Amino acid sequence: MFARIFKPAKTAMQSGKAKTQDWVLEFETASARKPDPLMGWTSSADTNAQVRLTFDSKEQAMAYAETHGIPFRLIEPEVPPKIIKAYADNFATNRRQSWTH
């Protein structure tokens, strides 16, 4: 029963940063998934894979895991570089590339 604590990245389908501020504790799968022969759905005997806990800070998530004796791996989020752009830069005279149609 091994867990990972991480801050989720934004999905490709959203432009904002909704649901990326909380820290998440998820258990890694202990057994492989297999298709059900009758329905074809994917199933697993591991019920911990369904557990997803959210916390306001990584310290709270780490304290929860240590209190309950859960070994965990902390994954620090990668901070993307902040690129400051202005619409007027598209029409600047000192552009590196020529602006043509």
Can you give the CATH number for the domain in which 71 is found? Answer: 3.30.160
Q: Which domain holds residue 71?
A: 3-33+44-91
Is residue 10 in a domain? yes
Is residue 79 in a domain? yes
Mean pLDDT, to the nearest integer, of 35-52? 87
CA distance between the termini of the chain: 58
Q: What does the pLDDT read at residue 63? A: 97
Integer angstrom CA distances of residue 100 from 50, 88, 91, 92, 96: 53, 16, 11, 13, 13
Is residue 101 in a domain? no
Is residue 97 in a domain? no
Number of domains in the chain: 1
pLDDT digits 0-9 by tens, 48-90: 888 999 999 999 999 999 999 999 999 999 888 888 888 888 7
Residues 58/74, Cβ–Cβ less than 8 Å: yes
Is residue 22 in a domain? yes
pTM above 0.85, yes or no: no
